[in-house]
Structure 1
Amino acid sequence: MKTASTLRSALLSLALVAGLAQAGAAQAADQAASRPQELTRAEVVADFNLWHRAGLDQFMNTPGFDFNSAEYHQALAVYQSLRSGPAYAEELAKVRAAAGSAR
């Protein structure tokens, strides 16, 4: 009787440990999948240049600026258009070329 109880406890413990291990592996996989893609320095600089070109930088140094204003949303639309269009690839090529010539 005592052997059966010990065996049952051991199997239950083993099942619990296996379940926790699976949960940990699933959580690690979820974290890896949700991790943002790392950007290169050139990609960040190109993005910043487009942000500046769209005029979004002027709103950062304005205390109390209303980010719901039409001016901000217009500049944001320009930035999003630049960022999702060919301008980003062109700017990225310029930044990479400049970085290559600086070496």
Structure 2
Amino acid sequence: MTAKNIIASVLFASVAAVAGNAMANDNPHLQPVNTPSQVSRAEVLADLQIYRESGLAAVEQSESYGYDVARREQAQAKYTQLRQSPYYATLVKRFGGDASKITAVAGR
């Protein structure tokens, strides 16, 4: 091999490596997908308010999370009760939402 062939081979290999790396970083399946929300902002804020008022937020942020099962179950029951009560619709209205369009949240 001549020096010219060696330089050409090295140049080709480096260009191929860079091009392959660039294509690997541009995978369209890994790009974020913007899906429209199923709930309104008012519903999210109302749910957050109930989450805090029920004590569930405090339980999940405490150091005994996972050990104090009775306290978590009590807070979860209160959260469910508040979420299914007319109080939730009142909060949605207070935050500027339409209470007639309230959707059920999966897992809640």
Structure 2 partner of 1:10: 11
AA in 2 matched with 1:52: R
- The alignment-based identity, stated in percent, is 28
Q: What SS class does the counterpart of residue 25 from structure 1 fall into?
A: coil
Q: What SS class does the counterpart of residue 32 from structure 2 fall into?
A: helix
Residue 93 of structure 1 deviates from its aligned partner by 4.1
**Structure with more helix by fraction:** 1
Task: Report matched runs for 1:79-94 at 5 Å.
Answer: 79=79, 90=89, 93-94=92-93
In structure 2, C-alpha distance between the alignment counterparts of 1:13 and 1:40, rounded to whole Å: 51
Q: What SS class does the counterpart of residue 19 from structure 2 fall into?
A: helix
Summarize deviations over 1:24-81 as a string: whole Å, max 9, x none: 223x963636xxx8x9753542221220343325648xxx763332122331355368
TM-score normalised to structure 2 length: 0.49
AA in 2 matched with 1:5: I
Query: In 2 relative to 1, CA 11–92 (structure 1 residues): closer, same or farther, beyond 3 Å?
Result: farther
In structure 2, C-alpha distance between the alignment counterparts of 1:11 and 1:72, rounded to whole Å: 62
TM-score normalised to structure 1 length: 0.51
5+ residue gaps, structure 2, are 99-108
